[in-house]
Structure formats: C-alpha cells, structure tokens
Structure 1
C-alpha cells in the first residue's frame, strides 16, 4: 500500500461519488457501525487500487468504483458472517476523507424496502443497487461481467422477489 497522502484528484472523486458508495454500504450493512466500517474499507481499497486505475483507465471511473465497492462489500459480508463483530482501526489519515453525511431516521416505507433488500442474496443486492442508481443494462452488464440479456433476466427475477418480500410480513 502506498503511504503517499490522498491526492486532490482522488479526494474529489470520492466526494463526487460518496452518495453512491454510501448506498453500497447501506445495502450490505443494516447496522450503522458496521456500515461505517464497510464505508471506510471501501475507501481504503479504492485508495489502494487508485494507482493501478490511473495507470490504465480503460474502464469508466464509475464502473471501476462500483466494482471495487461491490467486491469489498461482498467480501466484508462473508467475513462478518464467519466472525463476531470486532472493532477495527483505520489507518492514519482518515481525517482527510470527506465526512459522511449524517444519517437520519428512514421513513417507514424506505425502512420496509431496506428490510426486504437485506433478505436478498449478495448478487441480487448488487442488481438492486445498480437499478436504483439508474444504470443502463449495458452498464450493469459491464460492472457485473455478464451479458445484457442475463441482466434483463436476473433483474426481472429480483424485481419479482422484491415484490413478493414486500407483500410478506417481516
């Protein structure tokens, strides 16, 4: 890992995409403390991967951000299911990162939607996240590494599953 300080370009990128990255953390972590830890892990992995992206930016930056964030979120979820929660300390310099916006209470309908999304598989959550971000099927296919036709089929199945979950008592 590079010990160089965060560059202004990197900090601007994080600030511009912070709401999207927070949504990734929200979808994969229902608990606020875990969500903040995941958000910091995503930031750390983005910082570690930034030099490789800068050297060869063949992929759009938004696609790259999603790939890194989703990979970190899914890995974190798998680790949390295998071990008890433990306090993790971030590296020195986290104070340079943009502060997350304060989280307020969710309206009832939004809370119900998040509870339903929490019951989806890791891959299904990725589809919901990209759908909520209004990503095209082409972008989804690129981010997830599958065909557009496969995206259409899976999106239809995820939407049906969410409809079913929203009509069921929690």
Structure 2
C-alpha cells in the first residue's frame, strides 16, 4: 500500500470548510429571477460562483430609457432583502459594501457584471478583497444596468432587480 503525503496547499484545501451561500430572488421589476451565489474560502481570498435564471435580456439605451444589461452585481452592506417601496426595491440592503472606503470601482463588494444569455448567467471569479467570514450577514444585489465602475458612489447600475442574504 502506497502512503500519500499531502502538500501544504492540498492540506489547506482538505481542511477548508468555510463556505456561505445566498439565495437570489427577484423583486417587483424582475420577479422571475432566481439563483444561488456561493462563497468559498481559498488560499489568499475567496472564490465566488453565481448561477442565475430569469434575467432580462440585453436592451440598448434609448433617448428615454437606460440600457438593460449586462447586469451590475454587488455585495451590499446589510443582510436585508425586504422589497419595501415597490418603485425602489431592496433599499434595505444599503449601499455597496466598502469596508476600506475605496472609490467606486475598487469596493470590496464590486463584482464583474452578469451577462444574460437567454435569461441565464453563470460565472465564477476570485477576489482577494475578503474572506467568507467577512461577508456573512451582508447581501448580494443584481441591478438592471451595467456598473460603469467609476460613477461615485455606486456605478450608476440602475434599479435593483434581485437580492439574496449571504448566510
């Protein structure tokens, strides 16, 4: 029988069990949105994976309406996804999570946009801006329009379409 000796990184992954999830549910502007976000501690940061259904398709801006999609995707500061005002839902989630007081585009809660492919978006990415324990009790929010990563304080990403509390 051959003995197996784990390397330091393999041992880290084997003993790692820090994970959180957020169940995404659509609000008044996009009630069909459903999905999951997974946060998993990895060496030097966190892997974030999202799968979402029911997203609105891309629609270019017009003279009277903002562009729809790709969709802004962020961690917000409070773990509260109450709809509240149906004309301005999920305000209870607060602003983008920004624990280090960075300008927009560099907030810990600024994520890549979600591209709707016939209503579906799937994406995984790595961030070194937080560990899982730091985001439990916060929320994730999907917005109607893309984040421009520069407009202060929140990227001009439009109405809040869906929300999920990170647990």
**TM-score with structure 1 length normalisation?**
0.21
1 or 2, which has the higher strand percentage? 2
Richer in helix (by share): 1
